[in-house]
Structure 1
Amino acid sequence: MSITERRDGLLEAIAAHTPELGEPMRYFDYIYAVMGDSREENSYWAQQDYLLAATESVKVSEVETLINFAEDQGLLTSKSGNLALTFAGYAHLEVLRAASQDSHQAFVAMWFGAEVAEAYNQGIAPAVSDAGYKPMRIDRKRDFRCALTAVDGYSRLAG
């Protein structure tokens, strides 16, 4: 996942935890475990596991870096243990969401010889349809031309 995708994961996580516009997501820099007379740093934030997963981070310090990165870009604010999206952050998410249209088409990659037609027609296509998707075989797509040809038992590019 690229650094900008990780930043966007952070923004999505904050948006998911703050259903009201402008509502902050509470987090703590670190939570300390009291062990006898000493305090040991615990690797858990209040929302740490969720933020680590959303940003594919290994350490809390990576999430902190992404927070600083997004804050420097004006996409969020981080004050007193709270994360909140700015107008620019919400607008950025709207652009991302508009760009990633939901598709109900499933691309089936397989050999389309006669010997597997029954497997496709009786198994694969119905299963894809039952899952709520429309199976699409490239060999049945209009204007499809295969550039492969069989030579000595192997498929090779024609030409």
Structure 2
Amino acid sequence: MKASDLFVRCLENEGVQYIFGIPGEENTDLIDSLINSDIEFILVHHEQAAAFMADIYGRLTGKPGVCLGTLGPGATNLLTGIGSAYLDYSPVVAITGQAGLDRIHKESHQYVDIIGVFEEVTKWNQQIKVPHTIPEIIRKAFKTAVIEKPGAVHI
């Protein structure tokens, strides 16, 4: 099983119905895995719109809204909507792509320390480094998004 298939299966287990976002090179496998899923991918014209749509979904339903961005500038475009969800206590799970782990400590095109960037506007954020941690990380993200004061989390 591909890691992206496992990721989508975990999202299904969390009851995700919609993902708002933009596909890109770093999340192509995830988009491909969604094809065989009941989760509907809603294409937006800008990542900021995806974050605000997930925010509103979370406010209206009480369940985490899910948004998806690519790496670098695509991921940072989610920040305003994620910050809004965090400050207004809306349950949101933001998912972003990232450059390969072999590029993290190099000067690399579109690499941004996205974990550091999201730290101030999320209740919790975590990078997936090995596939076997996917179920635990996704379960914790969805649980954290709704417990106590709801808010945004980032994977």
TM-score by length of 1: 0.21
Which one has more relative contact order, counting CA pairs under 8 Å at least 6 apart? 2
Query: Which structure: greater helix fraction?
Result: 2
Higher strand proportion? 1
Question: Normalization by structure 2: what TM-score?
Answer: 0.22
